[in-house]
Chain A
Amino acid sequence: MTRELRIMVADDEGDMREFYQSMLPLLGHKVVAAVPSGEELVQRCKTLRPDLIITDIRMKDMDGIEAVARICKDEPMPVILVSAFQDNQLLERAQAEYIMGYLIKPIEQSDLAPAITIAMSRFEQFHMLRKEAADLRQALQDRKMIERAKGIIMKVAGIDEQEAFRRLQRMASDRNRRLVEVAEMVLVAEEMVRPGAER
């Protein structure tokens, strides 16, 4: 039921990188890169664009939380942190929305499978929620614009609201444009002819 994921791992200990490279394929995933440092993680991510990042926190040059913060600044990616440490400060810093799991070392193969599954589905949900929110925001924006255009038409043409909306719809279908585009044109035209518009 799980699809193959392109996973990138980071851990400063070779044993652990080898462990990931042995175990993750058994779980049906592909390790696209196993790097020992935060800097490399950031660099390789730009080109490889993995589906999931599993990273240690304490590494020599840059810690994992810092590295994923840079990576996910532009485009969020699901991240699982694996660390021997669990103090409050670290937990505080691991509150970012794209961090989908926090495993405490020592971990076993059996810990990885559920963590990955949960992380991916959570990220999926998270992603969908984000998309939904964005759509809703857009819809709201369009609605506002159409309402304003309707108001202008009502005022200029001296017609009622239903009639004004019908005219907008007709215009849109005639010109093969979206309703909101027609509304925007109305608003622009009105702004141009509005008295006292010239400055």
Chain B
Amino acid sequence: MRRLPLVYVALETLVVAGAYFVSGLLALAYLTVHHKSAAAFWPAAGIAFAALLLRGSRCAGGVFLGAFFLNLCTEGNVATSLGIACGNTLEAFLAVLLCVKFAGGARAFIHPRGYFVFVLLSCLLSTVPSPIIGVTSLALGGYAPWDNFWNICLIWWLGDSVGMMVIAPFLVLWLTIRWQPVRWSALLRFATVTTSVGVLSWLVFFGKLPGGANLPAAFLVLPLLVLGAYRFRARRATALIVLMAFIAMTGSLNALGPFGSMSHDVTLTLVQLFVACTTVTVMELAATAAERHRAEGELRQIHNELEERVQERALELSRANEALRKEITDRRNAELRFRSFLESAPDAILIVNQQGKVVLANVQAEKLFGFLRSELLGRPVELLMPERFRAIHEEHRGRYFTHPATRPMGTGMALWGLRKSGQEFPVEISLSPLITEQGTLVSAAIRDTTARREVEEKLRQAERLAAIGEMITGMAHESRNALQRSKACLEMLRLEVPDRPRALDLMGRMKKAQDHLQHLYEEVRQYAAPIVLDRQPCRLGEIVHEAWKCLLESGTRDDVHLCESGSGANLVCQADRVSVGQVFRNILENALAASPEHGEIDVCWSETSVDSWPAVRVAFHDSGPGLKPEQRERVFEPFFTTKAQGTGLGLAIAKRIVEAHGGRIAVGSNNMHGAEIVVDLPRGTS
């Protein structure tokens, strides 16, 4: 702590002591009751309190000196004066200590509770020891009679209490004033109220009012003081109180006013009580008003802050609103784009929620399933699949939502859709999750795979046939070797038994079987082998003649006659001579086998078209028993035969070759007498 210059401390002590001394001197001159040292109003107590509170305990010296010299000059000796001074100093100490400790120090005067505690502890309680010490000192010194001890103590205590109550707040508040620019209107108001209080106090306490000598008249000053307290609050209220107290005491000492009609002691006592009551009331009110004012201020501040915050929030809100509006617009645009994207997608697209309800469907989905959009929305997606898949699909759907990922649906499984008409069709579906505010949705792109499936099926069949063909070709080749060995051995065997006719007969039959087997192998190989065409310009008529000649040379029959009719036999076609020869040979072979004795085979030529390409038609008509309806259907199937010795591959091979040429082969409609086979071969570019 900084040490203050000694001069300063001495000056301060001197001022405090002087103030104490002068105020005490005035009080003892006019306001003593019962004893020369007991004043009914002791402003010095207030001065001492203010000095100690504002300046600290170093002012105690000043208080002590003031009290000592005051008493030494008025009544008693050094000893009694020392005792009294000690008591007074102790009183100031106690009062300040309690005030600081429990009432908040200087702030006590502007808080209702603080002021109350100040009155109770500082004014009423801490002023108890001083009178006892003082009066005891006087009595011991012989300056005061013991029998009047308690009366003197009481007056002394009352004076100290009221003095502290009135003067201490006045001094503390006015000495700690922070100067602000003068507001003239406020000053004028204060001056007006002060003047009013002064005038009214004068009217009351100097007995200027008619009937003013009655006690209740004193209370006329109260409303104005209350007004002042309410209006100006603590500091200026103290000034009003001091003014009122001064006038009240002055008037009463002059035996005027409500208190003037009684004896000196009673008057003073009553005035002090009145002043005390008024002061407590007014100060309490002022403190309350101050607090309320502060509370109002705080409230106003809070209100302002709130207002500001509200403003800020409003601004933020409006910004947020703007952002939201923009977002909504963006989203609407995005949704529009999304929708147009959906509608333009080549696949049917359904968007389904976690409950399995359709939330969106595009126009392709409508077309594919035959439902209107309104019939789909909100309905379970299982509506679009056959009954037998519905339960399992619900299960799968649930599982999908726990692990959503973009993937094809039901990998490796055949998926089927169901049209409104009840028709089932194969589909391919790819799933992808959509994360939205409404939770995860799933978008399913559905494609009808009917056409593709058919193509795939054909391809598969073709591949299978090709594989089988390859295998059979290999097998037929390999079997040639085995057959060769078998035949070789049989021939050698024949040499061994030239003299056994029975064995030779059996061997002959075995050889027939071998030949049949060989023929079968050759036919199968031919049917299965890939067809490689070597197209050359040729006349189909010539090829038919060659085939017929070849057939006759093989020597089975020579009783059947071949007749030709129509035109086109000499038209040139782009065809593979060898394989077309095979076709005609196979057909003629069948016709020959079916012909009755001395029968006739008609070959009828004409021009036609295949797929709008010019073509030659040749119809072979035999005079045999003809084909039954079920035979007509199956005649081109491999291994179907009506002959006892046929392989059933002749017409199947013919069909393959004709189709490889881009032509057609069919059973003819002229089926009244005998069978008719019609071959159409395109002429090709020649």
Q: Which positions in A face B, CB cutoff 8 Å? A: 13, 15-16, 18-19, 22-23, 26, 84-85, 104-109
Contact = CB atoms under 8 A, between A and B. Distances in A.
Interface in B476-503: 477-478, 480-481, 483-489, 491-492, 495
B518 interface: yes
A108 B514 CA distance: 12
Task: Pick the 5 closest A-B CB pairs, nearest first.
Answer: A19-B488, A84-B480, A106-B484, A105-B484, A15-B485
Contacts of B478: 84
A107 B492 contact: no
B138 to A, nearest CB: 157
Contacts of B489: 15, 19
A106 B480 contact: yes
Contacts of A108: 487, 491
B531 to A, nearest CB: 14
Contacts of A107: 484, 487
Interface string B456-494: 000000000000000000000110110111111101100
A84 B491 contact: no
A44 B514 CA distance: 35
Contacts of B514: 106
Contacts of A26: 495
Nearest to B521: A106
A107 B486 CA distance: 11
9 contacts: A13-B481, A13-B485, A15-B485, A19-B491, A23-B491, A84-B480, A84-B481, A85-B477, A106-B514
Given A22-B495, A108-B487, 11 more contacts: A13-B484, A16-B488, A84-B478, A84-B484, A85-B477, A104-B480, A105-B480, A105-B483, A105-B484, A106-B483, A106-B484
A16 B484 contact: yes
B534 to A, nearest CB: 11
A16 B489 CA distance: 8
Contacts of B480: 84, 104-106
Contacts of B487: 106-108
Contacts of A13: 481, 484-485
A84 B485 contact: no
A24 B483 CA distance: 20
A108 B484 CA distance: 8
A85 B477 CA distance: 6
Contacts of A84: 477-478, 480-481, 484
B488 A15 contact: yes
Interface string B291-308: 000000000000000000
Nearest to B489: A15
Nearest to B529: A87
A154 B489 CA distance: 76
Nearest to B487: A106
A73 to B, nearest CB: 29
A18 to B, nearest CB: 7
A15 B483 CA distance: 11
B492 A18 contact: yes
Contacts of B492: 18-19, 22-23
Interface in B171-229: none
Nearest to B522: A104
Contacts of B484: 13, 16, 84, 105-107
B529 to A, nearest CB: 10
A15 B480 CA distance: 14
Contacts of B518: 106
A107 B477 CA distance: 14
A26 B496 CA distance: 13
A19 B484 CA distance: 10
Nearest to A85: B477
A16 B477 contact: no
Contacts of A22: 491-492, 495
A23 B491 CA distance: 9
Nearest to A82: B484
Nearest to A20: B488
Nearest to A18: B492
Contacts of B491: 19, 22-23, 108-109
B494 to A, nearest CB: 9
A26 B495 CA distance: 10
A198 to B, nearest CB: 65
In the complex, which of the residues B477, B481, B488, B518 has the most CB atoms of chain A within 10 Å of its own CB atom? B488
